[in-house]
Amino acid sequence: MTLTDHLRSLEEQLLNPATRTSASGLTHLLAPEFVEFGSSGRHLTRTEIIAALASDPPTGSLHLSDFHLHASTPSWALVTYRCPRQNASGTKHTSLRSSTWVHRDDRWQLLFHQGTCEPRQRYPELVPLPHTLAAFLRFWPLPTDASAHGTALDRHLLLNLWIILALAALAHILILFGLLVRQRTTPTEPAHDRFHKLRLEYLPLAALTVLFGALAVHAERLWAATRYTGADPSALQVEATGMQFAWYFRYPGPDYTFGRTSSALVDPGAGNPLGIDPADPHGTDDLTTSELVLPANREVDLTLHAVDVIHGFAIPELRLKQNAVPGQTLHIHFTPTTPGTYAILCTQLCGSGHFRMNATLRILLPEDFAAWLSKQSFRTAP
């Protein structure tokens, strides 16, 4: 077996879920001074990565491709490869990875590993477009998509835009053509006139009606997919409440049940901005925060409330926008995919302080989310 094949088989062992969750298997393959710079920016030692993988093994499939051995000596080797990964939610990412291997005690051990996410293709699966139009879109891009449902929404939005652009261009061409070749008409036979009208007016009108009807039905289905289908029972329950002029978020705590609230008990100064009733035992473990923190690749069932007036809950990068209406409980469910920090906006003019009504969403890796949650104290607003 060549050195390339041997190192490739060792990398494949490291991608194998059975090895990744085995402390002894990882200890055998990783050098004691092993260091990893993860694609999320994390810096992990051998002890830390063994603990992280044991508590939260990765979901989805992991396979490597484009494997290359770049340089080697009898005791040292550098390899690179691509690792396409499909998460449980179905979203695909590809990371570029590099590893430095060291030969000791008659075996190769991983000394250093680094992963870098490849940028996602911004306009996937569109029909080939003229270069000038594609270049125009690059200067006017959509925000980054950090949600599982965003790809389908983006594709539909762009499909709508291209169809409208094509029809507008066709209409202008017809107008110009009509102006250039216009001629005096002579009265025609009624039968011929009916056929002429059918071909030039009714058939195009029917085709456009079918086209826009189909686009509208598909758009409605995409919209309803985050609202009417219902969240998975295992989804993370979170509540978002809008009030002039802030967003508050509540997690139900270890009992998975939100405590009762009362508007008479609302007291932001006393750390109870949502008015959680202390008499309800379900509320004693509720966690109230002023920033929304969510784990990546887990479905979230978000309950929306408004205390005073209508507020617009919007996160452009998650392709979410839903009004929060006083007296109504509204649900949206979605799966964040890309760790990062994003802005939560209010998109309804809700009063004089509307301009400053925003909050922060942080999407964390599952192990980082668990660590964040364990550090929170209950019933407080930081």
Q: Which residues bind Cu ion (CB under 5 A)?
A: 311, 346, 350, 357
Neighbours of 241 (CB within 10 A): 23
Give the Cα separation of 23 and 362 in Å (integer). Answer: 30
Taking the complex as a whole, how short is the minimal distance between the CB of residue 313 and Cu ion, in angstroms? 9
Tell me how far, at minimum, the Cβ of 182 lies from Cu ion, in Å. Answer: 55
Helix (H) or strand (E) holding 176: helix 150-180
Phi and psi dihedrals of 335, rounded to 5? -125, 110
Helix (H) or strand (E) holding 7: helix 3-15
CA distance 26 to 50: 7
Long-range contacts of 112-119 (CB under 8 A, 24+ apart): 112/34, 112/35, 112/36, 113/34, 113/35, 113/36, 113/37, 114/36, 114/37, 114/38, 115/36, 115/37, 115/38, 115/39, 115/83, 116/39, 117/39, 117/93, 118/82, 118/93, 118/94
Q: Of 14 and 346, which has the nearer Cβ to Cu ion? A: 346
| 3-class secondary structure, 381 | coil
Q: Which is nearer to Cu ion, 240 or 293 (CB)?
A: 240
Q: How far is the CB of 349 from Cu ion (least distance, A)?
A: 8
State how far the Cα of 365 lies from the Cα of 298, in Å rounded to an integer: 10
How far CA 18 is from CA of 12, 15, 29, 197, in Å, comes to 11, 9, 13, 70
Q: Which amino acid is at 380?
A: T
C-alpha span between 55 and 2 (Å, rounded): 35
Q: Which two tokens stand for residue 239?
A: 């509540």
Q: CB of 179: closest distance to Cu ion in angstroms?
A: 50
Minimum CB distance to Cu ion, residue 340 (Å): 24
Q: How far is the CB of 47 from Cu ion (least distance, A)?
A: 46
**Identity of the residue, 101 or 248, whose beta carbon is nearer to Cu ion in the bound complex:** 248
Residue whose CB is less far from Cu ion, 101 or 342: 342
Select 255 or 308, whichever has its Cβ closest to Cu ion: 308
Backbone angles phi, psi at 312, to 5 degrees: -105, 110
Q: Which helix (H) or strand (E) holds 37?
A: strand 30-37
Which residue's CB is nearer to Cu ion, number 110 or number 306? 306
Q: Which is nearer to Cu ion, 311 or 333 (CB)?
A: 311
Q: What count of Cα atoms within 13 Å lies in the side-chain half-sphere of residue 351?
A: 12
Nearest-approach distance from CB 324 to Cu ion, in angstroms: 8
Q: Which is nearer to Cu ion, 121 or 352 (CB)?
A: 352
| Nearest distance in Å: CB 380, Cu ion | 23
Cβ-based nearer residue to Cu ion, 20 or 311: 311
Which residue's CB is nearer to Cu ion, number 123 or number 245? 245
Here the tokens at position 175 are 């107008």
Cα 215 to Cα 158, 160, 170, 208, 244: the distances in Å are 12, 8, 19, 11, 37
